[in-house]
Amino acid sequence: MKTRAAVMYEHNQPVVVEDLELEDPKANEVLVRTAASGVCHSDLSVVTGAIYYDAAVVLGHEGAGIIEHVGKDVTDFHVGDHVILSFVTYCSDCKMCRMEKVCLCESYDVPRGYQLDGTYRLYNKSGQGILQMARIATMSEYMVVPHQNLVKIDDRHSLEKAALVGCGVTTGVGAVLNTAKVEPGSSVAVIGTGGVGLNAIQGAVLAKAKKIIAVDIAEKKLDFAKRFGATDVVNATDNDPVEAVRELTEGRGVDYAFEVIGNPDTIVQAYRMVRAAGTAVIVGMAHHQKEFSIPAQHFVATERQIIGSFYGSCQPRVDMPKLLNLYTEGKLKLDELITKHYQLDQINEAFADMEAGENARGVITFN
Ligand code: PAD
Ligand code: ZN
C-alpha cells in the first residue's frame, strides 16, 4: 500500500515529503494508521546527524493511531485498538526489562531503524529501502511496527493528546518521578523549557517540589514555563544561570537540576547549580560525538550525582495510561502543550519554528 511520509535523505537538507510503498505486516507486526505525530527536537537531531541514522529514514517517534491490521502471531492487539507508539522496542523478559528498566531492553541487537528481522518495510519509487526512526516513524500516514512498540490506550482519549505522551510528556515527567524520584518540598531547576522541559516542570509539580526554577534563553518559553508551574524563571541570555539559581536557593544550589537541551555547556551548568550531594539529571540528547567535562576532585568532595534519564525511565504500558488518566483528572496539562498544528507537508516549517523557539509543542495531524 501507499503511505505519505517525511523522509530525511541527506543530513542538514530539507526533509522530503513523498509517497512510499509500505509492505504488509509480517509475523508479530502491526499496521497502524497514524492520527498525530508530535515534533520533538530529537527528530530535528536526526536531520542534523546529532542523533545518527543512516539515510534515508522516515522521521517521527512521538505518535498515536489506530490499528488497521495485525500480522500473524499477534495476540495482544486487535484491529480498531487505539495505541501510543513507544520509541523503544522491549521484550519484557531480559535482565533489564525484569529490573523494570525496559527502555534499556537488551534483546534486540538490530541496527538503528530496521525492523527486528533486519529488513525494511518502506521503499521509495526507485525501490530504495527506507528506515523508520525508532523502528516506528510516526511522520507517516501508516506504519508497520513490532507489536512490542505498542501501548494500548482507552478509546475515550484524544489521539492528538495521546501522541504527546509517546515522547515529550513521558520523558519529562518520568525524568522527575521515575529517574530522580524528586521528594516533596524539593527545589528543582529545569534548564531548557521546550516540549520536554515543560513536562519536567509538570513532573516537579506532581512531585510537590516547593521551588521550580525554569531556565531558558527565550522569554516566550519562560512564559510557558510559568503557566506549567514554574515558581521562578531565569533568562540565561542576560544572567549567569548558575549564579541566578544559587541566589534563589540561599546560595546553596538546588536539590535537583534537569538539563533538557542536549548541550555539554548546559550539562555542566546543571552540575554546577546543584547543592552538595544534589543530583544533576541529563535528559537532553547531545550530539553523539560530544563529551562534557567536570572537575574530578570537586565531584568527589561535594558528593554530587550526575545521572542520565532515557525516556523518563518509563515502562510505557504502565506509565502512559497513567499519564492520560492524570490528564483526564485535570492534574496534567496536555491541551496547553500544543501551540501549533501542521500538515505533514509543512514539516520543514515545523522544524524552522522549533529552531526559532516558537512552540511549546507543534503537532502534525493526519486526515
Ligand atoms: P525544544 O527545542 O522544544 O526545547 C529546547 C529548549 O532549550 C528551547 O526552549 C530553547 O530555547 C532552550 N535552550 C536552547 N539553548 C539554551 C541555553 N543555552 N540555555 C537555556 N535554554 C536553552 O526541544 P525538546 O524539548 O523537544 O527536546 C529537548 C532535548 O531533549 C533534546 O536534546 C531532545 O533530543 C531530548 C530528548 N531526550 C529524550 C530522552 O529520552 N532523554 C527524549 C526526547 C527528547
Ligand atoms: Zn522525542
Instruction: Check which CATH number belongs to the domain holding 124 and give it.
Output: 3.90.180.10
117, 210: one domain: no
Q: Which ligand lies nearest to the CA atom of residue 61 in the structure?
A: 2
pTM to 2 decimal places: 0.98
Tell me the average pLDDT across 113-122.
Answer: 98
For the Cβ of 285 lying below 6 angstroms from any atom of ligand 1, the answer is yes
CA–CA gap between residue 5 and residue 22 (Å, rounded): 10
- DSSP states of 132-147: EGGGT-SSBSEEEEEG
252, 238: one domain: yes
Tell me the average pLDDT across 2-28.
Answer: 98
Task: Give a yes or no: residue 320 inside a domain.
Answer: no
Sign of CA dihedral 56, 37, 89, 198: positive
CA–CA gap between residue 96 and residue 110 (Å, rounded): 17
State percent of the chain over pLDDT 70.
100
Task: Give a yes or no: residue 351 inside a domain.
Answer: yes
For the Cβ of 50 lying below 6 angstroms from any atom of ligand 1, the answer is no
For the Cβ of 46 lying below 6 angstroms from any atom of ligand 1, the answer is no
- Give pLDDT tens digits for 270-290: 999 999 999 999 999 999 999
Ligand 2 centroid–CA 61 distance in Å is 6
More confident residue, 238 or 279: 279
Domain interval for residue 23: 2-166+334-365
259, 341: one domain: no
Task: Give a yes or no: residue 66 inside a domain.
Answer: yes
Task: Give a yes or no: residue 147 inside a domain.
Answer: yes
The grid coordinates of residue 98 equal: 525484569
For the Cβ of 359 lying below 6 angstroms from any atom of ligand 1, the answer is no
Task: Give a yes or no: residue 318 inside a domain.
Answer: no
Tell me the average pLDDT across 217-240.
Answer: 97
pLDDT category, 124, cuts 50, 70, 90? very high
Neighbours of 79 (CB within 10 A): 11
CATH number at residue 296: 3.40.50.720
245, 134: one domain: no
Task: Give a yes or no: residue 304 inside a domain.
Answer: yes
Interior angle at CA 222, CA 217 and CA 226, nearest 5: 160
248, 264: one domain: yes
